[in-house]
Structures are given as C-alpha cells and as structure tokens.
Chains A and B, each alone.
Chain A
Amino acid sequence: MKQAELSESDALARLKNRDPEVLADLVNEHSRPLYRAARGMGFKEDEAEDMVQDVFITFLASIDRFEGRSQLRTWLFGILHHKSMERRRKRVREDQHDTIDEIFESKFDGSGSWASPPQDLVRLMESKQIGEAIAHCMEGLPPLQRSVFVLREMEGLDGDAVCKILEVSVTNMGVLMFRARNRLRECLEGRGWGKTQ
C-alpha cells in the first residue's frame, strides 16, 4: 500500500510501530532521491549509501518530533543536510563576503550595462562531457551553495522546501543560488566551453 493511500497520521502511527509495509514504502519512495542528492553534494557512492541508511535510522529515532509541519520528503532531506554537515566536520556557514560577488560586479560598467557579456554555452550543452563538466565545476562550490544547487536544480525542490531543509531565509537562499550559479557559470566558461564556433 502506498503512503499516499494512507492518511499521514495513519502512516506515521504505523511507522512508529515499525510497520514493515509502511517502512518499505517509505524506503522505496525516498532512498534514491536521497542517494542522488548525497552524490550531488559530493559524497562517494559508498558514503552516499551509508548516508541514506543513516537518514532513515535517524528519522525513525526522531519520528516523535516529526509533527507534520513540513512534508516528509522535506524532513528527510533536512536530516540528510545535517548528516552532510556532520561528515564534513567543519563549521559551514555562508560568509557575508564572497569573491564571486566581485567577479559578478566586474562584468558591468558604472551604468549597470554589460562590460563583459556572458558567453553562449551551446557547445557545452551539446557535448557528451556535460555531466563531467558540471560535476567538476560543482566541486568548486562551497557546501551550502552546492546544496542549494543540488536541491533546487538537480532535485527540483521548491524554494520553501529548500529553505526549511537548509534552515535559511528566502533571501539567503537567493544569495546562495546567485553565488552558486555565478561560480558554475564562471567555471564552465573558463573551461573554454563557451566558444560557439
């Protein structure tokens, strides 16, 4: 039986009792998205699988605190985010100052018009190496910027969900996305893929 067919409260009550059927539905529905996101955040295959397992273990251990104020998927991605921060074993915060902001500023003249216009990435997008190129460029993103890109652009989560998962404001998420995309753009153009000829 799919979770959607149960009321959320029924499903939660059964999960608290480790109902094997509901547990299997939960795992089948969410394992792969969590795995993909962990890979996107930069963890190796084995580590990403360990993280998925840890997410469910932690979820079941903390299920009493899940009050249904956010979607189950959002809650699970939130746990994944915490796990990724723990594994990086460093304080991850977004600095107010980021050099990418200066690079963006340098693209415009005093009147706000382009001084150094963007290049076309057509050739890159048509290339078979696009996956490799974007993966390489994502390596250069700070963790929070990377997480925003993974959750929004890779997994397609909406902005509200991403704010809850990363515990940031809408404004902060915009800043993180702005910096992530600018950094990726600079990297992709810098790899010489922007030339259209």
Chain B
Amino acid sequence: MITCKQVSTLATSGELERQSAWTRLEIRFHLWMCKHCSRLVRQMRQMREAGRRLRSTFESESPAGGDSGLEVRVLAKLRNPPTGNDEQTH
C-alpha cells in the first residue's frame, strides 16, 4: 500500500500525473482516506495559485504599465543594437 511519504513525494515533485493508472488509483484512494495528504495536495494547488497571483503583480507593475512602453523600448534597442559580441551559448 502506498504511504503518505510516497504520495507527498510524488505530489510535491509534480509527478502524480506521470504515474501508471494503477498507482494513480492507489493515490486517489489514499487521498480519500488521508486528510493530511489531501491537505498537502491542496497546499501544492495553493502555491500554484500564489504563483499566478505573483505573475499578475509583475504584469501590473510592468514598465509597460498597460501601454506599450516596454515593447517600444525593446524594439528601439533592437533597431540600434549595442556594439560588441553578445553571443549566447544556448
């Protein structure tokens, strides 16, 4: 039988969905039985929501600030790039 530690490890690493159908069934049953693991899974969801809210914060503080300022500045620099090598190794 799957343990709380195993469920928590999979939930925290984001690997619940990558498990076999049988394991996912085991996990669902475990979550139905275990309020602590359910809470942990809820925490993961809450952290994702918090991340999305932070994204909105950065969106609203963007130098673009609702207009196209950021894009205009970026385009201006692309038309007049700085001299020198700026090669990336990606």
List the interface of chain A (C-beta within 8 A of B).
23-24, 27-28, 31-32, 35-36, 39-40, 45, 49, 52-54, 56-58, 60-62, 75, 78-79, 81-83, 104, 107-108, 111-114, 117-121, 124-125, 130-131, 133-135, 138, 149-150, 152-156, 159, 174-175, 177-178, 181-182, 184-185, 188
Contact = CB atoms under 8 A, between A and B. Distances in A.
Q: For the complex, would chain A's binding face be called helix, strand, loop or mixed by DSSP majority?
A: helix
Contacts of B71: 24, 27-28, 31
A125 B73 contact: no
Contact of B42 (A107, A112, A120, A159): A120
B88 A32 contact: no
Interface residues of B, number: 50
Contact of A134 (B6, B51, B90): B51
A62 B85 CA distance: 11
Given A78-B90, A112-B3, A56 B55 contact: no
A23 B78 contact: yes
A181 B74 contact: no
B28 interface: no
Nearest to A133: B50
A174 B3 contact: no
Interface of B: 3-6, 8-9, 12-15, 36-37, 39-40, 42-44, 46-55, 57-59, 61-64, 68, 70-71, 73-75, 77-78, 81-82, 85-90
A181 B44 contact: yes
B53 A130 contact: yes
A181 B64 contact: no
A52 B87 contact: no
A57 B77 contact: yes
Contacts of A24: 71, 75
Contact of B78 (A32, A40, A56, A188): A56
A107 B76 CA distance: 53
Given A131-B54, A135-B54, A57 B86 contact: yes
A156 to B, nearest CB: 8
